[in-house]
Structure 1
Amino acid sequence: MTIELKDKKSKTLQLATQAMYAALNMDDEVKQKEAFENYSVALADTMKASVQEEVALFENGRADESIMGKRAKRFQLTSKEKKFFAEAVEKQKVDGLDETFPTTIIETLMEDISQEHPLLSQIDNQYTEAVIKYIYSDPSEQTAYWDVIPADIRQILIGAFKTLDLQASKLSGFIALPKGYFKLGPAWLAQYVTTFLREVMTATLEEGVVNGDGKLKPIGMMRKLSGAVDGVYPAKETVSITELTPKSLGGPRALLAKEKMINGQISMVVNPVTYETKVSPNLFFQNTQTGAWTKLPLPNGENVVQSYAVPEGKAVLGNLKNYLLAVAGDLELELYKETLAIEDMDLYIAKMFAAGVAKNSNAFIVLDLSSITGVTVPATEADAVLVKQDTINPIVVVEDPEV
C-alpha cells in the first residue's frame, strides 16, 4: 500500500503537471528541464505533507494495534526490499548500495499504474524482470493456419511477429528525497520512494505513450512507424473534423476498419482542456419540455479518455489495446549532480528500461478538433495581468522622418 496523496488535486500540483506535459511536447530542453524540476518540487512538497500526516497518525496510534493497522498504512516489504532499504537507512543514501534496487518494486508500481490511470490502464502493459527483447504480433496479420503450412506461408508467419527492444529506450525521472526521511526507517523510506517514483513514472510514461518521438523513448500513438531521422519518428498527419457526428467520424473509423484495427473498444484520447471546450459542449442536448440537460455518448460509443499528454485541439482515435508498453524491473539510482534548489532534499535520478510502440502503423489516427465549434476559455489571472500591463504601457511604433 502506498501513501495517499491527499493534496494531489491541489492547484499547484495540477498546474505543474500541465506545464510539464506542455513542455514535453516542445523541442526546448531548457523549458523541459525547468518544467520537470517545478513538477518535482510540487510533488515533493505534496509527498512531504502526506508522509508527515501519516507519521503523525502512526505515532498517535501506536498504543492501539487496530488503529495502527487502519491508519498507519505501512508499506509491506519483501525480504529483498527490507535489505535494500535497511542498507539505505544505514548509509543515508539510496544509490551505490551493495543491494540492487528490488525489481518487485517496479512490478508493483506497474500494477498500480495500470489499474489507477485511465490511459495507461487501457493499453497493453507488459512487465518483465530483465531487460530483454519483447516479442509481439501485429493484430492485423494472420498468425495461425489450418493444415500443412507451405514455406511461403511460414515466412509470412515469421514476419507477422515483431520485437520491441527494451534496451533501446531508458526512462529517467527525479526522486526528491528529504534528508530527514532516513530516520523514519526502512518501511517509511520505501513508501516514500515508491510513491514518488510512481507519480513521476506515470507522467513520463503517459507522455511517451501518446507522443514519444522514439529517440531513447517510446514511439507514441501520434507518431508514424517509418521515416525516422536520427532516431526521431515524424508526427502523423492529422485528420480534421468539424463535428462529432457519425459522418465526421466515419472516415477515420473506416480507415481503422480497413486496417482491421476495429478489434475492440475504440477510444478517443483528448486533452482535458479540449474535452471541456470542444467535446463536452457538443454532447449535451436540452429537453424542450422539462428543460433538463442530457449528455449523449459519442456516435459509435467511443470511450473518451482524458490525458494532458495530448496537445490541445488534437485527439487520438483507436483501440488502446493496440499499443504495447513493455517495462523492465531493472532500475538504476544515482545522485543528481547538477544544481537543483530543493531545500533539505537530496535529488536522485532514477533510470529504468521501458519501450512502447503501436502494434500496427494505422492503429491510431490523429484528429484535429480545432474547427469544431466550442466554447472560449476565460483569461486566467496571469493573462489578465499581462493584458493590463500592455494597456498601461502600449507599444508605440514611431516612424523615422528620414524614411
Structure 2
Amino acid sequence: MDYTKLPNYTAAVEKYTNAVANNADEKEQQKLFAKSMEVMGTEIVEKLSDQTSEKINSLMATKSNTKLSESEVKFFNEVTSGVGNPEVTLPVEIVNQVFIELQEAHPLLNIIKFQNAGLKLKALTADSIYGDAAVWGDVFGEIEGQLKQSFHENDFGQNKLTAFVVIPKDALENGYDWLKTFVTIQMSEAIAVALETALVVGDGAKKPIGLMKDLTKGTADANGVVSYADKEAKLDLSKLTPQNAPTLLAPALTEMTINAKGVSVPIDGHVKLLVKPSDYYNLLAKFISLNAAGVYVIEVPFAIELVQSIAVPAGKAVLFTDNRYWAYMGGMTLQEFDQTLALQDLQLYTSKSFYYGKPYDNNVSVVATLVAP
C-alpha cells in the first residue's frame, strides 16, 4: 500500500514524530502513536477494497508455492479460533516477512541491520571491534578478565513497542495465506514508524538510543532509567555547493574514522546523510551542477548516500556510518484486544515486540544544520 495516499494517517504520524523529536511528555507520545495507529486502521479499511486487496492479491499471485509452516498454521488457528484471549507468539517466518515489508517503505530500516535475538531479549555488545578484544601480554595472563571487560550483555526486555493490528472480521475467513499477508502489511507500517523514530531521535528511555543523541549526556531518573540529550550540530550545510562540499564534509568524516577510544575504523562505503523528505530535494539540489555538455550532474563527494527519513527534524540532517550501530530485535506476540472497537466489523489486535539499538560510540554520527541560524 502507498501510505502517502492515506492523508489523515500521514498527518497523524507527523504529529507523533514531531512530539518525539521535541521530547514531549511520554504519555503524550504514547497517545499520539496510538492515535496514528487508529487512524491508519480506519483509512486502510476504507480503502481495503482497492489498495490493500490489490497488494495482497498481487503478492499472493507472485509468491512461491511454499506452504505455511507448521508454526504459522498453529498461530492462525489460535488467532481465528475466537476462543479466549491468548497472547500468541508470532512465528519467525512472519517476523522476518514483517521486516522485509517495512524495509521497502522505510530505507533506514534496511540500512541498519537488525539481528534477531529470538525470545532471549538480551544482546551481546563489545566496547570496540578493535583494540581491547586482542592484546599483547603473557600467554596465561588476565585474558578472561580482559574479555569480560570488553563484552557486555544488555537486557532489552523493557524496550517494548506496542502497536495495533486492525483486521476486518470478514478477512478472518479469507484463508491463512491472505490473512498472513494482511497482518504483515499492517504490522510492518505500525512498527516502522515508531522504530525509525527511535533510531533517529530516541532518548534511550525504554527505547533505542537515536543517532542524534549524545552518549556522554545520559541522565538517570528516580527509577534508574537513563535518557540521553541531543547532540549539538557540528556541521553547517546551509552554504553547501558542489564546489565546497568536499571541504565542508571532510572534517566530519575524519572525526567519524576514529572511534571513541582513538582507534581507526573503516567508513568507506558506509556513510549516509539522513534528511527529512521535505528537506531532501533542497539538499540534493546543492549537490547538482550543470556540466559543459549542458547536463545536470549530481556529485555527492566521498560516495555519501542521501537517505530520506520521516524522523529527522526539519532543517536538520544526520551524517552517520551504517556499520557501527548495535541493533537487535526480540520476539513478537499478538493478542486480541478485549475492548469493543468503534467499527463493529473490525477485529483489533495488539502487537508487542522488543528492540535494542545504540550507536557504538559518539563518533558514529554528526548532526548537521541545513538552514543558517
Please indicate, yes or no, whether the TM-score normalized by the shorter chain is above 0.5.
Answer: yes
The answer to whether structure 1 residue 295 and structure 2 residue 311 are counterparts is no
The answer to whether structure 1 residue 318 and structure 2 residue 316 are counterparts is no
Alignment of 1:2-401 (within 5 A): 5=1, 7-10=2-5, 12=7, 14-26=10-22, 27=24, 29=28, 30-46=31-47, 49-53=50-54, 70=61, 76-91=67-82, 95-96=85-86, 100-113=89-102, 117-137=106-126, 138-145=128-135, 148-149=138-139, 151=141, 155-226=145-216, 227-230=218-221, 231=225, 232-241=227-236, 242-244=238-240, 245-259=245-259, 260-264=264-268, 265-277=270-282, 279-287=283-291, 289-297=292-300, 299-335=301-337, 337=339, 341-342=342-343, 344-371=345-372
For residue 18 of structure 2, what is the amino acid of its counterpart? A
For residue 204 of structure 2, what is the amino acid of its counterpart? G
Is this contact kept in 2: 1:333–1:348, CA < 8 A?
yes
Deviation at 1:361, TM superposition (A): 2.7
CA-to-aligned-CA distance 1:6-35 (integer Å, 9 cap, x gap): x44425255454444334434151444434
Deviation at 1:82, TM superposition (A): 0.8
Deviation at 1:140, TM superposition (A): 4.9
Deviation at 1:258, TM superposition (A): 3.1
Deviation at 1:366, TM superposition (A): 1.4
Q: Distance in 1 between the 2:162 and 2:332 partners?
A: 12
Deviation at 1:276, TM superposition (A): 1.7
Deviation at 1:223, TM superposition (A): 1.3
* CA gap 1:163/1:124 in 2 versus in 1, 3 angstroms: farther
Is this contact kept in 2: 1:272–1:306, CA < 8 A?
yes
Q: Which structure has the larger Rg?
A: 1
Is this contact kept in 2: 1:131–1:353, CA < 8 A?
no
Deviation at 1:282, TM superposition (A): 0.6
Q: Distance in 2 between the 1:69 and 1:104 partners?
A: 16
CA-to-aligned-CA distance 1:119-175 (integer Å, 9 cap, x gap): 111223200222232112223544224674574665444322233322130011111
Deviation at 1:255, TM superposition (A): 1.7
TM-score normalised by length of structure 1? 0.76
Is this contact kept in 2: 1:218–1:355, CA < 8 A?
yes
Q: What CA RMSD, in Å, does the superposition of the two structures yield over aligned residues?
A: 3.2
SS of aligned partner of 2:234 = strand
TM-score normalised by length of structure 2? 0.81
Gaps of 5+ in 1: 59-67, 373-403
Aligned length: 351
SS of aligned partner of 1:224 = strand
Q: Distance in 2 between the 1:48 and 1:91 partners?
A: 25
For residue 371 of structure 2, what is the amino acid of its counterpart? S
CA-to-aligned-CA distance 1:167-213 (integer Å, 9 cap, x gap): 13001111112122122133322221122111211222111111111
Q: Distance in 1 between the 2:48 and 2:20 partners?
A: 23
Deviation at 1:327, TM superposition (A): 0.6
Q: Distance in 2 between the 1:48 and 1:355 partners?
A: 37
SS of aligned partner of 1:41 = helix
For residue 270 of structure 1, what is the amino acid of its counterpart? V
Q: Distance in 2 between the 1:210 and 1:179 partners?
A: 36
**More deviation, 68-77/138-147:** 68-77
Q: Distance in 1 between the 2:279 and 2:231 partners?
A: 19
Is this contact kept in 2: 1:262–1:318, CA < 8 A?
no
Q: Distance in 1 between the 2:189 and 2:299 partners?
A: 33
Is this contact kept in 1: 2:94–2:180, CA < 8 A?
no
Q: Distance in 2 between the 1:39 and 1:151 partners?
A: 59
Is this contact kept in 1: 2:200–2:211, CA < 8 A?
yes
